[in-house]
A and B are shown apart, each in its own frame.
Chain A
Amino acid sequence: MPDVKTYSYDVLVIGAGGAGLRAAIEAANSGVRTGVICKSLLGKAHTVMAEGGMAAAMANVDDRDNWRVHFSDTMRGGQYLNNWRMAELHAREAPDRARELEAWGALFDRTSDGRILQRNFGGHRYPRLAHVGDRTGLEMIRTLQDHGIHQGMDVHMECTVLSILMDGGRVAGAFGYERNNGEFVIWKAKAIVMATGGVGRAFKITSNSWEYSGDGQSLAYRAGADLMDMEFVQFHPTGMVWPPSVRGILVTEGVRGEGGILKNKDGHRFMFDDIPDLYKNQTSDSEEEGWRYVQGDKSARRPPELLTRDHVARCINREVKAGRGSPHGGVFLDIAWIKKYIPKAEDHIRKKLPSMYHQFKELAGIDITREPMEVGPTTHYIMGGIRVDGDSQMSTVPGLFAAGEVAAGLHGANRLGGNSLSDLLVFGKRAGEYAAEFARKNGQGAVDNGQVEAERARALAPLERGASGENPYAIQYELQEKMQELVGIVRVESEMKEAIEVVGRLKERAERAGVAGSRIYNGGWHAAMDLRNLLTVSEAIARCAVLRQESRGAQFREDFQSKDPEWAKYNLITRQDGGGMTVEKRPIPPMPDELKQIIEEMK
């Protein structure tokens, strides 16, 4: 094709967050030609925003920790829908991946004996999160970036992949465009690692950026891959609620890990009121015990603010709905109260939570060392995604691998904080390794010019329609409003069915989207092309959520309020079927006795 550039790689990694960079480093080091593509500038992926830390059972702070405890915490948090093999590998391998970062130049905060310091986080039994203040993600991505650029990989920054090119049933490459100039590109590849992150932009209130339009999930789905667990979207309990323009921006769980408490408008610490049975034994029943826990007292149990995210988010939602919320529709998160226990609390807070201090000071005009923050739930993460093999990370499409947030399995029905950053490294490495192996064993598939031509025409259509077409932003905003309202924290069948209809109507409107201007860095054009992916993942989320008639982990159904043991046996699989979307139950494979026993022991 005359106006299409072509590159050729053994392994093509789509995405340059933690998962993509780790995969690319592994592939490049194994000697195969490796290319990396990302939508933003290098180093600006979502991973850069991660705050609290990365979970790894290194036992630097509490020597009772080990991979078995981490494994059982992850399974309990995921309400046992997890791919147990991934949960096992993750718990076993995360410590090595964390130490490896140090060998590449990362500087984590230290213990008094000079090792990597670890902090408490919700659902983790022991202090387990390696961190750098509250900018752990920046440390991780910069370390991978600065190491990666010397490993011999090519980086294509500010390029968007629009579709996976197929040769019959296997991958042959990817098709996309350069954002800077709108030129089309074919990246031929023997194996592809999808590492594109999540879907948060399908919702109105979110901690996620424009990049999270569900590209990887949607591209893989269109290439014939299975998606899994798409109903499980994590609503983080603490996003900013005021001022309106920052609504949704994350307030790290690290605030609670450092002793922050949640209060309603009457000053009541409502998290003590409702502690789930699964966690009764591990949760403190007094302020004093909770404080001792965050101070590292091994005999104390964790404060209720550090229960899993799904539960905390619902408790906050309940307070607000009952009229006990803060002035702007959230609740209060107070870290300043710790001055009751420690003398120089102001300095301590600024040192431990520098970017939160900064964020509230500059965006809300609030000094968190003196006043409480106002917080409420925000769409944060998707547990579901591309179904992969636990060991190799290959999807159901030969040659297509997936790692990081875009892949499903590790987190089951709910992710524990800190388990994503470790996920990226453990499975990014594995995906890179197995993709390289696949590329060595298989030749290059043939690029189908018909497919390229069709994608190209599709991409150019909004520009041809011009300003008289539908405004792509308006379509996107309507989708976000509706998903937030109808498929949010509290779900009910009738509303979700309405959402599916809305998605159907918006799909038609998206086909009429138009933008004025040229192909050079045209924001509206980019938004128009993202719509297809946003709509695909929204439909998958709604359809799966309807089918799962129970409340479990991140999914709360008003019409089915309890957990149903029958549903514990299945994951939900989403697949493209003759143009339409099908969702079906898939039995979870039986867990080996060895792992079952660990779970029993840790109950």
Chain B
Amino acid sequence: MRNVEFRIWRGDGKGGDFRTYTTGIDDGMVVLDAVHKIQAEQANDLAVRWNCKAGKCGSCSAEINGLPRLMCMTRMNSLPLDEPVTIEPMHSFPPIKDLVTDVSWNYEVKKRIKPFKPRKPDAADGTWRMQQADVDRVQEFRKCIECFLCQDVCHVLREHTKHDEFIGPRFFVYTAALEMHPLDTEDRVPDLKETDGIGYCNITTCCRQVCPEHITITENAIIPLKERVVDRYFDPLTRLFRMFK
């Protein structure tokens, strides 16, 4: 057990600041454990979301020493402990209280994306046949735990607050999962261009780097979607691009 200092952002929609807490850290503890310990012993009313404590639900997103991460998957011994550990809420969403932000915008965005529309069943009993190789690609996208860390880090939302014109990397992954689903028959390409703002993404790959599920957001989801948009709307350009490749 050793004592470690934490700087935790305390506040709400009206504002707030960092407060310092010192607590004892045991072998193997993660940041979320430390936050819970502080909550139980020193700050009963501290607001923090969590559920699974195993990186499966995507509830405990925050910024730890400036990096968007899951608190339950960040081992204390992976951080420099002789300086204070800073924990603050995600910046791309309005604060509610302490480490909890209002992420409801994400749920509104998802509702606007056209839902899954399967082709007619392949077999008389109403089922389909798909090979593992055909579902592998989409299974990668379906690993998403909706932690919204990618949304948090993306400069289009974080710095330019284009929340009305840009759906963000999470929902490009979602759209990609639908578009590349072996059974889906819907067409989302016009929306990608017109309402989803895929053009704003300049492939900085920041989103991919923070994804705790290691989804290759840019290469596997966004770039293929951009290609579909380009193929549909700017065809001659693509041909040129392909010629030089």
Contacts and interface: CB of A to CB of B under 8 A. Distances in A.
Interface of A: 40-46, 48-49, 99, 102-105, 107, 109-110, 113-115, 132-133, 135, 138-139, 142, 146-147, 149-150, 155, 157, 180, 209-211, 242-246, 249-250, 355, 358-359, 362-364, 467, 471-474, 477, 515-518, 520-525, 527
Interface string B25-51: 011111001000001100011111111
A200 to B, nearest CB: 12
B169 interface: no
Interface of B: 12, 26-30, 33, 39-40, 44-59, 73, 75, 96-98, 100, 102-104, 107, 110-111, 115-116, 118, 121, 126-132, 135, 138-139, 142-146, 178, 181, 183-184
A523 B45 CA distance: 5
B181 A107 contact: yes
B53 A523 contact: no
Contact of B107 (A42, A107, A135): A42
A522 B45 contact: yes
Contact of A110 (B115, B131, B178): B131
A155 B127 CA distance: 30
Contacts of A364: 28
Given A146-B116, A516-B45, A520-B12, A210 B51 contact: yes
Given A107-B138, A115-B129, A146-B115, A49 B57 contact: yes
Given A146-B116, A244-B29, 6 more contacts: A48-B51, A358-B55, A363-B75, A520-B12, A520-B47, A523-B45
A38 to B, nearest CB: 11
Given A44-B58, A147-B115, A149-B110, A246 B44 contact: no
A180 B96 contact: yes
B27 A243 contact: yes
A474 B41 CA distance: 9
Contacts of A107: 130, 135, 138-139, 142, 181
Most buried by A among B12, B45, B128, B129: B45
Given A114-B131, A243-B29, A362-B73, A249 B53 contact: yes
Given A99-B126, A147-B116, A362-B73, A40 B28 contact: no
B39 A523 contact: yes
B127 A104 contact: no
User: Which DSSP category, helix, strand, loop or mixed, fits chain B's interface?
Assistant: loop
B103 A41 contact: yes
Contacts of B143: 135, 138
A110 B115 CA distance: 23
14 contacts: A41-B49, A103-B126, A105-B118, A105-B183, A107-B142, A115-B127, A139-B142, A209-B51, A243-B27, A244-B27, A249-B53, A364-B28, A521-B98, A523-B47
Contacts of B97: 520-522
A115 B73 CA distance: 35
Please list the 4 inter-chain residue pairs (A to B) with the smallest Cβ-Cβ separation, ordered nearest first: A243-B28, A517-B45, A524-B44, A114-B129
A246 B28 CA distance: 8
Contacts of B102: 180
A81 to B, nearest CB: 30
B30 A142 contact: no
A551 B59 CA distance: 39
A109 B136 CA distance: 9
Contact of B45 (A103, A157, A524): A524
A460 to B, nearest CB: 15
Contacts of B115: 146-147, 150
A142 B142 contact: yes
A209 to B, nearest CB: 4
Nearest to B78: A362
A245 B26 contact: yes
Contact of A138 (B51, B121, B145, B183): B145
B100 A521 contact: yes
Contact of B110 (A113, A146, A523, A524): A146
A244 B73 contact: no
A190 B48 CA distance: 34
B186 to A, nearest CB: 11
A388 to B, nearest CB: 26
A473 B35 CA distance: 14
A275 B231 CA distance: 63
A359 B30 CA distance: 13
Contacts of B33: 245
B56 A138 contact: yes
B56 A525 contact: no
Contacts of A114: 128-131
Nearest to A524: B44
Nearest to B121: A103
Contacts of B58: 44
Contact of A49 (B45, B54, B132, B183): B54
Contacts of A467: 44
Nearest to A211: B51
Nearest to A133: B139
A298 B56 CA distance: 34
B127 to A, nearest CB: 6
Contacts of B178: 105
B53 A157 contact: no
Contacts of B126: 99, 103
Contacts of A115: 127, 129
Given A138-B145, A209-B51, A523-B46, A99 B100 contact: no
Contacts of B59: 40-41, 44
Nearest to A116: B127
A102 to B, nearest CB: 7
Contacts of A157: 104, 107
Contact of A522 (B47, B51, B130): B47
Contacts of B73: 362-363
Given A102-B127, A522-B47, A43 B28 contact: no
